[in-house]
Amino acid sequence: MNPFHEPALMIGLTLGAYLWGQQLFLKYRKSWLNPVLVAIILIATVLQVGGGKVEDYLDATRALVFMLSPTVICLALILYEQTAALKKKALAIVVAVCTGGLVNVVVGVYLSRWLELPEPFVQAMSTKAVTTPIALELSKALGGEASLTVAFVLLSGIMGAVWGLPFLRRVGVKDEMATGLAIGTVSHGIGTARVQQESDLMAAAAALAMALNGLFTAFYLPYLYFWL
C-alpha cells in the first residue's frame, strides 16, 4: 500500500496540519503562522521524509479541492450581509479594484520581461492575481502552461495572505474596506480566507474584489496581453 495515495490518510493529514496551524495562529497571533502556510510546510516535510510523491498526494486529496467551488458560492452570504456598506461605495470599489488589477498585470508583465524571465513565467505573472479557475481559462487563451499558472496564483495568494495585512498596517492603512479590497485584488481566495478572521466587512470587501478583479481581468487580458 502506498500511504501517500490513500485519500483517508492524506485528507486526514491535511485537515490535521491545517488545524494545528490554526491553533498556532490563534495562540501566537503571528502573521507568518498562517494555517495554509503551516500546513503546506508540514505536509511537504512529511512527503519528503516519507519519500512520497507530490503527484500521489494531489490525486488523493482531489475530494478536498472539489469543495472549493461550493465555498465560492457561499461567499455570496458575506456579500449579502454587507450589501448596504458596499452599495454606498459601489463606484469607488469597482474603479479601485480594476485599477489595482490592471497595475498588477502591466507592472508584472513589463518587470518580468525586463528581468528576462522566460515567456511561460511572464504569462503566469499576468494571471497571478486572479482566482485559480479564471487564471486557468486565461492561461488557455494566452497559450500558457496550466500548472505553472496555478503555481503562481497560489504563490501570490499565500504571500498576500501572510504578509498583506502586516504590510498594509505598517504603511498606515486603517480603513477596513480598503484593506479588504486590496487583499482580495492581490490574493483572491486565500487572502479572503485569511481576512475572515479579521472582520466581516473586510471579508466581504475581499470576496467582492476577488470576483470583480477576476471578471474584469477575464474580459480584457486576452486582448491586452498581446499589446504589452
Partner 1 sequence: MDVLRGLFLIFLFWATGETISQLAKLPIPGAVIGMLALWVALQLKWVSYATIQPSAKGFLAIMGVFFVPPSLGILLHAERMLQYGWKLALLVVVTSALSGLSTILVFKLLNR
The CA-atom distances, in angstroms, between 72 and each of 24, 63, 96, 207 are 26, 16, 22, 9
Site string for partner 1, 26-45 (x = CB under 8 A): ---------xx--xx--xx-
Count of H helices and E strands in the chain? 12, 0
Residue among 128 and 201 whose Cβ is closer to partner 1: 128
- Nearest distance from C-beta of residue 68 to partner 1, angstroms: 4
Q: What is the dihedral of CA 62, 66, 68, 72, to 10 degrees?
A: 170
In sign, the C-alpha dihedral spanning 201, 207, 213, 216 is: negative
Contact between 72 and partner 1 by CB under 8 A: the answer reads: yes
178, three cell numbers = 480598503
From candidates 125, 162, 202, 206, binder to partner 1 by CB under 8 A: 125
Residue among 1 and 84 whose Cβ is closer to partner 1: 84
Residues between 151 and 210 that touch partner 1 (CB under 8 A): 151-152, 154-160, 164, 167-168, 171, 173, 175, 177-179, 181-183, 185-187, 189-190, 192-194, 196, 207, 209
67, three cell numbers = 469543495
- Nearest distance from C-beta of residue 1 to partner 1, angstroms: 20
